[in-house]
Amino acid sequence: MRLDKYLQVSRLVRRRTLAKEMCVRGQVRVNGGVAKAGRDVSVGDVIALDFGWRVLEVEVTALPAGVGTKGRELYRVVRVERKDPGL
C-alpha cells in the first residue's frame, strides 16, 4: 500500500493530499529515511511524522483488510516528542 494512502486510512493524517505534501516537504520518514508518497508500506516499518510542534513515531502493525478496519488497529505508537514552540 502506498504511504500517502496508508497515512490517510490509518487516520494519522486527515487527507491524502496533505500526506503527499508532508512527504514533499520531507516531514515523513520511513525506517529513518525521507520517504516519497508512493513508497510501499509494509508491516514492521517505522514511520516518523513531523507536524512542526511534535514528532510522532509509529510502527505499522497491520495493513487495512477492508472498509471496517479501524485506524488505531493499524499502528502502534513508538514515540511522541513535543517540540518547544520557541515563542
Residue 42 has pLDDT above 70, yes or no: yes
Q: Is the pLDDT of residue 72 over 70?
A: yes
Q: Which residues contact 56 (CB under 8 A, 6 or more apart)?
A: 12, 48, 49, 77, 79, 80
Q: Considering the entire predicted model, what is its pTM?
A: 0.89
List the CATH number of the domain containing 60: 3.10.290.10
Our count of domains for the chain comes to 1
Instruction: Answer yes or no: is 87 within a domain.
Output: no
Is 65 a domain residue?
A: yes
pLDDT tens digits, 46-65: 999 999 889 999 999 999 88
Task: Examine residue 7 and state whether it is found in any structural domain, yes or no.
Answer: yes
The reply to whether 23 falls in a domain is yes
pLDDT given at position 65: 80
* Average of per-residue pLDDT across 7-27: 95
pLDDT at 83: 80
Per the structure, the complete domain to which residue 61 belongs is given by 3-82
- 47 is a domain residue: yes
Among 78, 83, 86, 10, CA closest to 41: 10
